[in-house]
Amino acid sequence: MELNDKQIEILHVAEKLFAEEGFDGVSVREIAKLAHINIAMISYYFGSKEKLLESIVLHRIGGMGLRLENLLNEDKDPISKMDEIIKFYIIQVNANKHIHQIIQNEIANKKREINFESFTELKKNNLKLLESIVKEGQEKGQFKTNINVALLPPMIIGSFLYFNMNKVLYADLFGLKSEEDFENYIKNELTQHIQKTVKALLTYEKY
Amino acid sequence: MELNDKQIEILHVAEKLFAEEGFDGVSVREIAKLAHINIAMISYYFGSKEKLLESIVLHRIGGMGLRLENLLNEDKDPISKMDEIIKFYIIQVNANKHIHQIIQNEIANKKREINFESFTELKKNNLKLLESIVKEGQEKGQFKTNINVALLPPMIIGSFLYFNMNKVLYADLFGLKSEEDFENYIKNELTQHIQKTVKALLTYEKY
Amino acid sequence: MELNDKQIEILHVAEKLFAEEGFDGVSVREIAKLAHINIAMISYYFGSKEKLLESIVLHRIGGMGLRLENLLNEDKDPISKMDEIIKFYIIQVNANKHIHQIIQNEIANKKREINFESFTELKKNNLKLLESIVKEGQEKGQFKTNINVALLPPMIIGSFLYFNMNKVLYADLFGLKSEEDFENYIKNELTQHIQKTVKALLTYEKY
Amino acid sequence: MELNDKQIEILHVAEKLFAEEGFDGVSVREIAKLAHINIAMISYYFGSKEKLLESIVLHRIGGMGLRLENLLNEDKDPISKMDEIIKFYIIQVNANKHIHQIIQNEIANKKREINFESFTELKKNNLKLLESIVKEGQEKGQFKTNINVALLPPMIIGSFLYFNMNKVLYADLFGLKSEEDFENYIKNELTQHIQKTVKALLTYEKY
DNA sequence: GATGAATGAGTGTTCATTCAT
DNA sequence: AATGAATGAACACTCATTCAT
C-alpha cells in the first residue's frame, strides 16, 4: 500500500492518540482534527477506524525490520552479542513505545480481530536470533545448557514495559524528575540491570 | 462502602469486561445486560461508569492485602523465602489478572484521572518486604550486595504479564493446547524460570 | 387539605425553585434534597410533581385573600383609595413574586393543564373593587367617564413585572447597587410613578 | 453566522416550542420531529440545545433592528411621534411574542447563563429614542418636565405582556371569541389605551 | 405513615460512517 | 480525488414514579 504524506500524518497522529487513550477512547473526529484533515478522509483512505489501526501496525512493523542479523555475523563473543541484542530490544521497544502499547492492549482485547501475524512473525524471527546466539555461547562453553530461550524476551521486554507503565512510581522511587532523566535511566541502569540478569541466568551455576 | 450481592455481581461482570475490552470499549448497557440488572442501577449504585471502575479497583485491592508478612518471620533461608515470594507474586497477579490488565491500561491512559494510590501503596509495601529478604540474604552472605531490588518486581511481574499478553504465541511455541495447560505452564515452568533468574542475579558472581 | 410542617416546608422550597428555574427545570430530587426529605415523599404527599405545583398555587392564593374590601368602606376620597390600592397591588405582587412568576409561566405554558380558576377569581374580585372605586370617583366628578378599568391591572402589575424581570437593566440604569436599593426603588419611585400614571389617566382632560 | 433554510426552519420550530412549553419543557427530539430533521442535526448545526436557544435570540434580534429612527426625523409633533412609537412597540413585541416570552422566562431563570446583551442594547437604544422625543416635547412645552422616561417601556410593554399572558381572562371579560378578535383588540383598544395613558402622564397637570 | 430500593422511559450528546457532489 | 453535510445508532446519565416493607 502506497501512502501519501497526508496518510502518513494521519497514521502518526492516530498512533499517538491510540497509545495514549486506547482505541475506543479516541474518536475519528479527534484524529481528523489533530491531523488537520476532513473527518471523512479516515474512512476514505483506510476504509474504517479499525482498518486505520491495522494500517498503523503494518506501517510500523514494516519499518521495524530488524538489523539484528548483522550482530550474529560479527566477530564478537556471545556475551557481547547478548548485551547488544538486549540493548537493541530495549531501544527498539522504547522507540516504538506507542505501537507496543497499542498492540499489547489490542492483543488482550477480545473485541476486535486484528491481524497481528506480521508482528508475531517478527517476534519469532527475533527469537531465532536469540537462540542462535545462545547456542553459540553454549557451544563455546560460556553459557549453561538448560536455558529456555523463549522465556528471555518476556523477561527483557516485560521488565521494560512494566517499568514504563509504572513510570510515576519509578520516577518517584529513583528521583527521576524529567522525561530526560527517565529516558536516561532506561538507557543506562535498566538496560544494564537486564543485561546483568540475563548473563547471570545464562552463566548461572548452582541449583 | 458496604456492597450487596447485586453490587458485587456488577463489579465482577464489569471487571471481566473492562479487562477484556477496555474501559471505553464497554458500555454500561453491556454490563447491565450481563449482570442482569437495569441500566440505571449502575449510576444508582456507583454514581457513574468511572466511579464503577474505581469501585472495582478498591474492591479488588481491598481483598489483595498481602499475607506476605508471614514469609518474613518464618524460619527459612532467604533463598527459599525468595522462591516463595516470587511464587506468591505470580499466583497473585495471575489470580487478579483482570484487575491488573485494567489498571495497567488505565495507568497508561492519559484520559481518566483515577486514584490508584492504594495500588501504589501496595506495590511499595511489597517492595519493602522484598528488600528485607534481600538484606537478610546479604547479611547471611548468600546474596551479592549490588542488587537494585526495585527492579525485581518489573522483572517478575513484567515477565508474567508479557507472557500472558502473548498467550497465543507462547501456547503455540510450547504446544499448550488448553487453558489448563497454559495455567500449568505458568504455575510450573514460568514460575521456576523466574525463580531461577532471580536467584542467579542475586548470587551471580562475575561482572 | 390539611398540611403538616414538612409538607409546608416542601411547598416553600418547591415554590422558590419553580420560580427560579421553571417547573421543568427543577427535579423532584432537588426539591427533596433542599427540603431535607425523602424523594418518595413528594409523590406520597402530593401525588405527583404536577399536583405539587397545584398545591403550591392553592396554598399561596389561600393566603392571599385580599383585605382590599376595607379600603372601600373607609372614609377617604377616591384618589387616595386609588393610591392605596395601587400600593397594595404592588406590595402584594412583590411579596408573592415567586408564585406570580410561576403562574405567569404556567399560564403561558400549553403543556400542563393546571387549574388556576381560584387565581382568576381573585383577579376578577380585585377588578370589581377597582371598578367600584373608579365609579365612586366618577360619581364625585373627580374621574373621567371613559375609563376601561379592566386595563388598569395590566398597567399596574405589568409595569411592575416587566421592571422586575429586567432587574439587571434597571438596577444599572438607576444605579441600584443592592437588593435593598432595588426594593426601595420599587416601594418609592416605581409605585409613585404608577400611581401618578393612573391618576393622570383617570383625571386626564384632552383627547 | 449564515443560516440555511433547514436551520431557519429549526429556529422557528424551536422558538415556538420554547415559548409555549419553556426551554426545559421541550426535548430536542420534539423539535427534531416537528422540524422534520434528524435529532443529531441540532447538535450538528448549533452545538447544543442551549446554543440553539442563543441562536434563536440572535436571529430574532438581528431581524428586530428598529426602524424607529425614522420617526424622529419626521416632521410631526411629539405627541404624534409618541403615538407612533407606542404603536410600534406593541406591534413589534406582539409580532415577536414568542421570543419575548422566551427571553422573559430565561432572564428570570437562574439556571442558564445566556448572553442577552444584544437584547439589552436594543432596549437601551429604544430608550434613547424615547428620551429624545420626550425632550423634544418638553422643549416645545407640550410635555411636563418631571418625566421618568425609563419607566415608560415597563408600562407600555408590561401592560401588553400582562394582557397577553392573561389572554383567557381578558378574552372572557371583553367577549373576544377568536384569535382575530383578540389581535384586533390589541391593535385598537389596548394600543389606544396605552397611548392615552402615556399622553395623560406626559401632559398631566395636577399632583 | 414513611422510605430505601428500584425501574422503564426519557434526556442531550457523540459516534463512525455514508453519500451527493 | 476529495469533502461538507448528514444520519441512525449508540452513548452515559437522569427522570418521576412505584413498591415492598
For the stretch D137-153, pLDDT in tens is 999 989 998 899 999 99
**Distance (Å, whole) CA B114 – CA B105:** 12
Give chain D's mean pLDDT: 89
Percent above pLDDT 70 for chain B = 94
d(CA D159, CA D170): 12
Q: Identify the weakest region by mean pLDDT among A154-158, A194-198, B159-163, D1-5.
A: D1-5
Query: Which bases of strand F sit closer than 7 A to a protein CB?
Result: 2-19
The predicted pLDDT at position D72 comes to 67
**Residue D134 CB contacts under 8 Å (≥ 6 apart), including other chains:** D78, D82, D143, D147, D149, D202
Q: Residues A71-105: pLDDT tens digits?
A: 666 778 889 999 999 999 999 899 888 888 888 88
Instruction: Tell which wins on pLDDT, A39 or B101.
Output: A39
The pTM assigned to this predicted structure is: 0.87
pLDDT for C4: 86
Q: What are phi and psi of D2, to 5 degrees?
A: -85, 135
Per-residue pLDDT at D207: 46
Residue B169 identity (one-letter amino acid): L
**Residue B160 near residue B190, CB atoms below 8 Å:** yes
Please give the average per-residue pLDDT across A11-33, as a whole number: 94
Contact C154 D162 (CB under 8 A): yes
Tell me what pLDDT residue C177 has: 95
- Taking only the tens place, the pLDDT of each residue in A52-77 is 999 998 888 877 765 666 666 677 88
Q: Verify if strand E has an atom below 7 Å from the CB of B33.
A: no
CA dist list (Å): D34 to D11, D14, D117: 11, 9, 30
Query: Are B and A neighbours with ≥3 CB pairs closer than 8 A?
Result: yes
Angle CA D48–C18–C182, to nearest 5: 100
pLDDT in tens, A113-162: 777 788 888 889 889 989 999 999 999 989 998 899 999 999 999 999 99
Q: Is C25 in contact with D160 (Cβ distance < 8 A)?
A: no
Is D66's pLDDT higher than 60?
no
Taking CB atoms and an 8 Å limit, are B204 and A190 in contact across chains? no
pLDDT beyond 90 at A49: yes
**Residue–nucleotide distance: C3 CA to F19 C1' (Å):** 24
Average pLDDT over residues C56-80: 76
Which residues does chain D have within 8 Å of residue C155's beta carbon, measured at their own beta carbons?
Answer: 155, 158-159, 194, 197
CA atoms within 13 A on the CB side of B83: 11
Contact A169 B108 (CB under 8 A): no
Residue lying closest to nucleotide E1, CA to C1': C44
pLDDT at D111: 80
Q: Indicate if the pLDDT at residue B19 is higher than 80.
A: yes
Is the Cβ–Cβ distance between B203 and B142 less than 8 Å? yes
**Above 90 in pLDDT, residue C131?**
yes
CB proximity list for A207: less than 8 A, separation 6 or greater: B196, B199
Q: How far is the CA of C96 from the C1' of F21 (A)?
A: 41
DSSP, res D147 = -
Q: Is the pLDDT of residue B60 over 70?
A: yes
Q: Which helix (H) or strand (E) holds D103?
A: helix D97-108
> CA-CA distance, C159 to D152, in Å (whole number)?
9
The residue behind cell 432572564 is D107
The answer to whether B43 CB is within 7 Å of strand F is yes
Minimal C-alpha gap between A77 and chain B (Å): 15
Burial class (CB in 10 A: 0-12, 13-18, 19+), A40: exposed
Per-residue CB contacts under 7 A with strand E, chain A residues 24-83: 26-30, 39-40, 42-44, 48-50
* Interaxial angle between packed helices B49-62 and B97-108, expressed in degrees from 0 to 180 and rounded to the nearest 10: 130
For the residues D16-24, what does the mean pLDDT come to? Answer: 93
Q: How confident is the model over C115-140, as a mean pLDDT?
A: 88
What distance in Å separates the CA atoms of residue D46 and residue D150, rounded to the nearest whole number?
A: 36
Per-residue pLDDT, B150: 96
d(CA A156, CA B90): 17
Which nucleotide has its C1' atom closest to residue C44's CA?
A: E2
Rounded distance between C-alpha atoms, residue A108 and residue B115, angstroms: 23
pLDDT at B104 (0 to 100): 81
Q: Which one of C107, C120, C154 has the shortest CB-CB distance to D159?
A: C154
pLDDT over threshold 80, residue C33: yes
Would you place residue C30 in the very low, low, confident or very high pLDDT band (cuts 50, 70, 90)?
A: very high
Task: Note whether C148 contacts D123, CB cutoff 8 Å.
Answer: no
Residue nearest to nucleotide E11 (CA to C1'): D27
Nearest by CB to B162, from A21, A161, A194: name it.
Answer: A161
Give me the count of residues in chain A.
Answer: 207
- Report the pLDDT value the prediction gives residue D11, as an integer from 0 to 100: 96
